[in-house]
Amino acid sequence: LEADLGSTVDGVLAVDPDERVLGLNRAGARLIGADPEKFEGRSIQEVGRHPDLTDLAQCVLGGEGPLERHILVGGISDRWLQVHATGLVGTDEQPIGALLVMNDVTRLRRLETMRRDFVANVSHELKTPITSIKGYVETLLEDPPADREAMERFLGIINRQADRLDAIISDLLSLSRLEHYAESNGLERHDLALSSVLERTVRDLTGRWPDAEGRVTLACGDNLRAAVNAPLLEQAVGNLLDNALKYSSPETPVALDCRSLDDGVAIVVTDKGQGIGPEHLPRLFERFYRVDKARSRQMGGTGLGLAIVKHIAQAHGGRVTVESRLGEGSTFTIHLPTEAPA
């Protein structure tokens, strides 16, 4: 029994009628942050010091059950546990305590939270342009302006909002495709010199940002190569450069560099802009997450650009990271393996 409980990934905690621990396996000790060498014979209140866990055991010992609850366990990082509690019965069929089986559902809870946030955010992002379009169309139908200038202004607003709607939907479809590539490893990649890919990215950028030619510097050796999908990599780097130019002063430089790493290559975009607060960094690559909501929408962003960058990096078997300080600028790094996985 000890071998079985020691090998299972589920946490198992058994207590006697006096609320003293009969047994706690290694997985359970890890989940509640208890020392497995010191738990036996001690009260459940002492083991991990989690009131909700104690309350659940007491309810079962009091005759309730079986019970199931989700319990938040604090510590260095919060962890959600799904706990099944039932009475522990001896060989004579008499109750001898309570048995608690614990599963770590932290990741599932986070995914559920992200799903709810995504549904709320996408509903809001789509509703805003739709409401604007509907309002101006109703005005044109019910009380059309007499002068041509007002009519053109109304139609211009409708057109801009329709473009915004189209951009959001296009980005959502792009994310869906990228997720499929990452899951199936189906992204087509070719061994290319990164310098040529990044040079095309900068050339395209100067067409959209006339002042980019004087601000963006590119440093990438001809010997740096990686297995990449060129159009997607150009899109990812282009998104980072767009943000760097948007959120920094016109007179400040933006650097685009390539670096060789032990396990691949890094593409680094550095700006000297306003920077990002530390509270925003953990959620920066979430869909529709905005540091400055008003300014981001004013500049035409969909709130999906950095999420697309993250998924493009993951589809290549890599990742993207960020370092930033308020008032000092930001550095975004796309880490790529040199070879495509088999």
What is residue 332's predicted lDDT score, i.e. its pLDDT?
A: 96
Residue closest to 215 by CA, chosen among 205, 230, 228: 205
What is residue 201's predicted lDDT score, i.e. its pLDDT?
A: 92
Q: What tens digit of pLDDT does each residue of 32-82 get?
A: 877 766 777 788 877 667 888 888 888 998 888 789 998 888 655 678 899
Considering the chain, what percentage of its residues have pLDDT values greater than 90?
30
Whether 131 contacts 164, CB under 8 Å: no
Buried/exposed code over 96-132 (b: 16+ C-beta within 10 A; e: otherwise): bbbbbbbbbbbeebeeeeeeeeeeebbeebeeebeeb
Q: Higher-confidence residue: 312 or 29?
A: 312
Q: What tens digit of pLDDT does each residue of 271-327 get?
A: 998 899 888 888 889 888 877 665 555 555 678 889 999 999 999 999 999 999 988
What is residue 3's predicted lDDT score, i.e. its pLDDT?
A: 66
Which band of pLDDT confidence, cut at 50, 70 and 90, is reported for residue 340?
A: low
Phi, psi angles (nearest 5°) of residue 187: -75, 130
pTM of this prediction? 0.66
Q: Give the integer Cα–Cα distance in Å for 264 and 9.
A: 34
What is residue 197's predicted lDDT score, i.e. its pLDDT?
A: 93
Between vectors from CA 72 to CA 66 and to CA 76, what angle results, nearest 5°? Answer: 140
What is residue 33's predicted lDDT score, i.e. its pLDDT?
A: 79
What is residue 156's predicted lDDT score, i.e. its pLDDT?
A: 92
Q: Give the integer Cα–Cα distance in Å for 228 and 193.
A: 9
Q: What tens digit of pLDDT does each residue of 189-200 get?
A: 899 999 999 999
Average pLDDT on 99-122 reads 83
Average pLDDT on 73-97 reads 81
The dihedral over CA atoms of 302, 306, 312, 316, expressed in degrees to the nearest 10, equals: 180
